[in-house]
Copies of this chain bind each other. A is one copy, B any other.
């Protein structure tokens, strides 16, 4: 069942009207009593929770595939919460095998202890598919075509799983979130520089201690002062300026993924 998550923001060509919808699927917002002054996205999150959830219940959909674009040069990036990983890791591996021309990376977002807040947290399982770079308000044929191909592959994978196919164990590299780095700013929060040209567009590539991360308006470079290699992701994403995120830091780790046994009952995944 396809759903346009935020029709008002889509019509206005903005990420959101009142607050970021994809941070609003917490039990606090979903269970709050509706009032006429609610932010648009709180009302919409409650509607989507009725349609696709309710979150945390048996009636919830099995799987939500959440489609996104970013201004960052992420290429094909699947964002998976750590708790969802075995099924999602097999899904990512299937995409890699089916689409060798499209490097597809899995970014594991571990919110460790905090409550989940994204739309795909409403269903029992789910994943977010990010494609970039694409500016807001622009439809690029190349990214649109990639998105269509990838959605087709994901539906194929779910269909095979539903038909009872088992998937063997494998090893793969994934990127696990470590934290975030803000832009250089004044005490008042104004930017004093932006992402360094040597870092810009280099999502998922190694950043070594001592390499430049920001170019200040004064002309000076700001160097990365960490102790080890990290892999920046969502570098210079437009929607993250207000979240004080110039890029996310991740570590690349090798994971052994156990086999996914074939379904034996009549239960199937419904996307």
Contact of A136 among B135, B139, B144, B193 (CB under 8 A): B135
User: Is B196 a contact of A141 with CB atoms below 8 Å?
Assistant: yes
User: Is B241 a contact of A194 with CB atoms below 8 Å?
Assistant: no
User: Is B142 a contact of A200 with CB atoms below 8 Å?
Assistant: yes
The smallest beta-carbon distance between A180 and chain B, in angstroms, is: 17
Residues in B whose Cβ lies below 8 Å from that of A243:
none
The smallest beta-carbon distance between A233 and chain B, in angstroms, is: 16
Q: Closest chain B residue to A239 by CB distance? A: B137
The smallest beta-carbon distance between A9 and chain B, in angstroms, is: 13
User: Is B236 a contact of A140 with CB atoms below 8 Å?
Assistant: yes
Number of residues from A at the complex interface, CB < 8 A: 28
CA distance A139 to B217 in the complex (A): 11
User: Is A144 a contact of B194 with CB atoms below 8 Å?
Assistant: yes
* Copy count, this protein chain: 2
Residues in B whose Cβ lies below 8 Å from that of A194:
139-141, 144
CA distance A141 to B218 in the complex (A): 12
CA distance A215 to B145 in the complex (A): 10
CA distance A191 to B136 in the complex (A): 16
User: Is B137 a contact of A238 with CB atoms below 8 Å?
Assistant: yes
User: Is A142 a contact of B197 with CB atoms below 8 Å?
Assistant: yes
User: Is B137 a contact of A241 with CB atoms below 8 Å?
Assistant: yes
The smallest beta-carbon distance between A211 and chain B, in angstroms, is: 14
Kindly name the residue among A14, A138, A197 whose own CB sees the greatest number of chain B CB atoms within 10 A: A138
User: Is B197 a contact of A138 with CB atoms below 8 Å?
Assistant: no
Check: A195 CB closer than 8 A to any chain B CB.
yes
Check: A71 CB closer than 8 A to any chain B CB.
yes
Residues in B whose Cβ lies below 8 Å from that of A145:
197, 215
With A142-B197, A194-B144, A197-B142 known as contacts, the answer to whether A137 contacts B137 (CB < 8 A) is no
Given A71-B137, A140-B236, 11 additional A-B pairs, CB 8 A: A135-B136, A136-B136, A136-B238, A139-B191, A139-B194, A139-B236, A140-B194, A140-B195, A141-B197, A141-B200, A142-B197
Q: Can you give 26 A-B contacts (C-beta < 8 A)? A: A13-B238, A71-B135, A134-B135, A135-B135, A135-B136, A135-B138, A135-B238, A136-B136, A136-B137, A136-B238, A137-B238, A137-B241, A138-B237, A138-B238, A139-B194, A139-B236, A140-B195, A140-B236, A141-B194, A141-B195, A141-B196, A141-B197, A141-B215, A142-B200, A144-B194, A145-B197
